[in-house]
């Protein structure tokens, strides 16, 4: 049962992140939960390309064993940069909302005020 431990870890990270988004009312804490979900997805991507007894796919100081698959690692690189872009834009929107409404609480900005 514990042989696929990285997949269980990635699933737990996604679950904890979704629980944080659903349970908290502060905007900055919701953004932290989204960041944890993205970390879980990156772990799942890297763990799905592992071959038994493999070494990193670099020929500079390699032996004679099999190598791990390199395509999923390229996808993870792209996903990390996209996470940075999303978090930067969300945080700047939080600054604008705080300057307009005076609070960063979700319940204080429910009605559409003029």
Residues that bind other proteins (CB under 8 A): 1, 3-8, 10-12, 14-15, 18-19, 22-23, 47-52, 56-63, 67, 69-71, 73-74, 77-78, 80-82, 84-86, 88-89, 91-93, 95-96, 99-100
Q: Tokens for 21?
A: 């988004």
Question: What is the phi/psi pair of residue 26, to 5°?
Answer: -90, 145
Q: How far apart are CA 89 and CA 104, in angstroms?
A: 16
DSSP 54: -
Nearer to other proteins, 26 or 92 (CB): 92
């Amino acid at each position: 049962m514990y042989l696929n431990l990285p997949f269980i870890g990635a699933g737990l990270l996604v679950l904890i992140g979704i629980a944080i988004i659903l349970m908290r009312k502060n905007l900055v804490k919701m953004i932290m939960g989204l960041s944890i979900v993205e970390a879980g997805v990156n772990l799942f991507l890297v763990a799905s390309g592992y071959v038994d007894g493999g070494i990193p796919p670099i020929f500079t100081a390699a032996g004679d064993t099999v190598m791990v698959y390199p395509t999923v690692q390229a996808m993870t690189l792209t996903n990390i940069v996209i996470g940075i872009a999303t978090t930067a834009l969300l945080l700047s929107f939080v600054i604008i909302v705080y300057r307009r409404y005076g609070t960063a609480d979700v319940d204080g900005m429910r009605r559409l005020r003029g």
